[in-house]
Structure 1
Amino acid sequence: MKLNRRHFIGTAAAASATLSAPMVMGASHGKPRVVVVGGGAGGATAARYIAKDSKGEVDVTLIEPTRRYYTCFFSNLYLGGIKTYDDLGHSYGTLASEYGINVVHDYAVGVDRDAKTVALAGGESVPYDKLILSPGIDFVEGSVPGWDITAQNAMPHAYKGGSQTELLKAQIMAMPQGGTYVMVAPPNPYRCPPGPYERISMVAHYLKANNPTAKIIIADPKEKFSKQGLFEEGWNSHYPGMITRIGPDFGGENTSVSVADMTVDIDGEVIKADVVNVIPGMMAGKIAHSAAVTDGNWAPVNAADMSTKADPDIYVLGDSSQQGDMPKSGFSANSQAKVCANAVRGALTGSKVFPARFSNTCWSLIDTNDGVKVGATYEATEEKIAKVNGFISQTGEDAGLRQATYEESEVWYTAITEDMFG
């Protein structure tokens, strides 16, 4: 499946087409109120589509602490020197000025489901009729012995866009010649299944040009990973001898770190490292737990509209949701947001609700113009979001096809960020 910008935006528009109808909720306080927490691929998209397609019938508030959003997707290309940091940054100004969304830069710290309010760190309380949570991921405490969030400056995770990505890039650039970079890879399930391995590719791309005798070690608790054959083919071709992956058969699941010593212990073998990139186990963002809509890890949702199993007026998108077969990716969150926006708008205004359809593609760059991808289409069933069909790049593809795949990913990035931020 070849993607272009017009197809991406056009499909989004078709999925969210509306038929105007009288307002059916919110009469006691004027317009119905939607509050969206989290301004990433899920939250920003949902806020924009509800505001745009309701044509002023719904009051939309977007709560996001950062004034400039840096995407986690494509951040690996910044590490590899393919993109600049500014390439990843996006403003919320258009959502406010052109779509009338009330953008509140603050932290959401609690949800009162009975009163239907969201508490902010600044002390304010924001009422809602429908609440959409898209807070991304947080980390499971103790998932990597020796590491907690207070160690993220010494051993960055860089699995949330922004300053952590800058920090990891600076550490890689400061590595001594012949130094060692160690990644502690996360257990399933986690954000962006091919993400750690694209990161390895992009770190290797940088080191090959600037520090060619450096070594990369991956301590991996998983037996296999997304696009494994494609990545390993690429590593052997582009970075021979540089990358070593230690899987569970060789102790990769038994890993701990010492922040004070900058060491990684892999099943009893202690490795002194110059850069340690710890990507811990993951769970839903904290606000989903505060709203009591999770099972302790993720938020179970209904496939037809992304509403939570715990509360029909709260919806969870993207990484934080437990929805079935879709991977935790920016594309998935964006796709889920359009389905959710259509359903929420229908519930609040009586507009037509279309059957839920979802899609996802995950692109990865292995080396200059060597792009690969995996993706699928999905439908809503009673039990889950279920995969209908899928596709994946093949080993041995010619250079022209791999370059076209990378160029397709560039088109997608432009299209999704326009879809998110207007």
Structure 2
Amino acid sequence: MTLNRRHFLRTAAVASAASLGASRTWGAGHGKPKVVIVGGGAGGATAARYIAKDSKGEVDVTLVEPTRTYYTCFFSNLYIGGFRSIESIGHTYGKLAAEYGINVVHDWAVGVDRDAKTVTLAGGSVLNYDKLILSPGIDFVDGAVAGWDVTSQNAMPHAYKAGSQSQLLKAQIESMPQGGTFAMVAPPNPYRCPPGPYERVSMVAHYLKENNPTAKIIVADPKPKFSKMALFQEGWANHYDGMIDWIGPDFGGGDVSVNADSMEVTIDGEVTKVDACNVIPAMKAGRICELAGITEGNWAPVSGHTMESRVDPNIHVLGDATNQGDMPKSGFSANSQAKVAAMAVRGALTGSKVFPAKFSNTCWSLIETEDGIKVGASYQATDEKIAKVDGFISATGESAELRAQTYEESVGWYAGITSDMFG
């Protein structure tokens, strides 16, 4: 499967056109139906744009996002590795407001009253909604890594919410002494962007190979295997032989504590002094899902047919925050789910035609310069979950030409999806 910016946008346009149908006017006296969307990433920004664009002004869309510049978590590892600038992964909301009439509110959503159908913002405003879409991404499970909490994130960054955390981690890697040690504490399943930590290891190794070749990388991992494991391990052996020490649960990777004050990592009782440390804790749905009372455990269960919350039919949940079935927690997944939700919401509010839900995902990773790999699948909604239909993955031993093509494909996809999100 080859995907570039033009193909991605053409596919998106076809999906959008397919969702258009005969519409009706919202009931007399009600004015325009109101949709509030919380979270301006791959799920929320896409949903806002598609509802506004396809409803042709029939729906009042408000997008709540605290940051004025949104940095994508996907491709942030390439910034850490020196392949992208921080500016290239930052995006603003001006086109959504100017071209699509979306009311973009830069504030935090701090409460949802499901009975009154209102969202309360930190600044004191209260927004009414007919349909609410929550796409808040992830937060972290308290106490997931012994010795670490969010007050430790300056000393031991997670960099799993891109932007300043990404810049901080990159700066710490660049400041490592020659021959120093970088440590990563990898997260348990499920977590945002399954290949993400291991692409990050590759990008850190790329930087160190060029600038600090005697440095070492330790990865403490509670999982016995991870996405694209054979591909990453092949790449690490080929490009960074002897630099990366991956420690799985059989050797103590699940028995980890950290001390941010002394910059120490303890793995299975053995204390190691480190110079930079990336702690990626266990994850859960963004806080607003808990405040709305729509989570079960750490995630928000949804129907794959519409991305509708299984707790409240007037709330749809997208992306990383969901418990939806077989799809990974990736930007591509959130974008795909957003189009299904947008179609369902617009259908409910305007009477436009709704087609059966279909989903797709691809996750690309860069191991070394032009050494790109990918994994992906297509999915369909069942009454129980979003179910995988078929899939594909890069093979070990692929030619350098194919790997370079895979990397270029990912660059084209990034341009396409960010255009699809932000206009």
Q: Give the structure-1-normalised TM-score.
A: 0.99
Q: How many angstroms apart in 2 are the aligned matches of 1:237 and 1:6? A: 33
SS of structure 2 residue aligned to 1:29: coil
* Contact 2:72–2:162 (CA under 8 A) maintained in structure 1: yes
Q: What is the distance in 2 between the residues matched to 1:29 and 1:255?
A: 56
Aligned to 1:359: 360
By how many angstroms is 1:161 displaced?
1.1
CA RMSD of aligned residues (A): 0.7
The equivalent of 1:21 in structure 2 is 23
Distance 1:330 1:139 in 2: 18
Residue 78 of structure 1 aligns to a residue whose secondary structure is helix
SS of the residue 1:6 aligns to: helix
Identity %: 73
Q: Letter of the 1:12 partner, please give it.
A: A
**Matched letter for residue 321 of structure 1:** T
Secondary structure, in 3 states, of the residue corresponding to 1:16?
A: helix
Tell me the SS of whatever aligns to 2:157: coil
Distance in 2 between the 1:10 and 1:375 partners? 19
Distance 1:28 1:115 in 2: 18
The SS at the match of 1:352 is: coil
SS at match of 2:182: strand
Partner of 2:264: 263
Worse-superposed segment, 341-350 or 13-22: 13-22
Please give the alpha-carbon distance, in whole angstroms, between the structure 1 residues aligned to 2:267 and 2:53: 51
* 8 A Cα contact 1:289 1:296, kept in partner: no
Any gaps of 5 or more consecutive residues in structure 2? none
Q: Which letter does structure 1 place at the counterpart of 2:367?
A: I
Residues 363-402 of structure 1 show CA distances to partners (whole Å, capped at 9, x for unaligned) of 0000000000000000000100000000000000000000
Query: Match for residue 402 of structure 2?
Result: 401
* Partners of 2:4 and 2:410 within 8 A in 1: no
Q: 1:160 corresponds to which residue?
A: 161
Bigger drift between 309-318 and 9-18 goes to 9-18
Alignment of 1:341-356 (within 5 A): 341-356=342-357
* Deviations 1:43-68 (CA, angstroms, capped at 9, x unpaired): 00000000000000000000000001
Structure 1 CA distance, aligned partners of 2:54 and 2:336? Answer: 16
CA contact (8 A) 1:246 1:252 kept: yes
- SS of aligned partner of 1:141: coil
**Partners in 1 of 2:316 and 2:239 — Cα distance?**
43
Cα distance in 2 between the residues matched to 1:378 and 1:7:
19
Distance in 2 (alpha carbons) for counterparts of 1:342 and 1:263: 50
Q: Is 1:4 paired with 2:4?
A: yes
Instruction: Report the secondary structure of 2:309's partner residue.
Output: coil
Confirm or deny: 8 A CA contact 1:307 1:313 kept in the other structure: yes
Is the CA contact 1:16–1:341 (under 8 Å) kept in the aligned structure 2?
Answer: no
Name the amino acid aligned to 1:10.
R
List, as ranges, runs of 4+ consecutive aligned residues in structure 1 with deviation greater than 4 Å.
none
One-letter amino acid of the counterpart of residue 279, structure 1: I
Letter paired with 1:264: V
Q: Is the 8 A contact 1:16 1:339 kept in 2?
A: no
- Measured after TM superposition, the shift of residue 2 of structure 1 is 1.0
Please give the alpha-carbon distance, in whole angstroms, between the structure 2 residues aligned to 1:105 and 1:20: 34
Q: Which residue of 2 aligns with 1:253?
A: 254
Tell me the number of residue pairs that the alignment of Structure 1 and Structure 2 aligns.
421
Establish whether residue 222 from structure 1 lines up as the match of residue 215 from structure 2.
Answer: no
Equivalent position amino acid for 1:255 in 2: V
CA displacement 1:135-192 (0-9 Å, x = unmatched)? 0000000000000011100100000011000000000000000000000000000000
Q: What code does the residue aligned with 2:2 have? A: K
* Secondary structure class of the residue paired with 2:303: coil
The corresponding residue for 1:147 is 148
Residue 261 of structure 1: how far off its partner (Å): 1.0
Which ranges of structure 1 fall in alignment gaps of 5 or more residues?
A: none
Deviation at 1:24, TM superposition (A): 4.1
Q: One-letter code of the match for 1:134?
A: S
Alignment check: 8 A CA contact 1:178 1:212 kept:
yes
| 1:23 positional shift | 2.2
The DSSP-based 3-state class of the residue aligned with 1:96 is: helix
Give the equivalent residue in structure 1 for 2:289. 288
Partner of 1:60: 61
Looking at structure 1, the residues matched to 335 and 139 of structure 2 have their Cα atoms a distance apart, in angstroms, of 19
Query: 1:345-367 CA distances to partner (integer Å, 9 max, x unpaired)?
Result: 00000001011000000000000
Matches within 5 A, 1:151-230: 151-230=152-231
Kindly indicate whether the alpha-carbon contact (under 8 Å) linking 1:15 and 1:354 is maintained by their aligned counterparts in 2: no
3-state SS of 1:419 partner: helix
The SS at the match of 1:345 is helix
Structure 1 Cα separation of the partners of residues 335 and 192 of structure 2? 14
Separation in structure 1 between the aligned mates of residue 331 and residue 370 of structure 2, nearest angstrom: 21
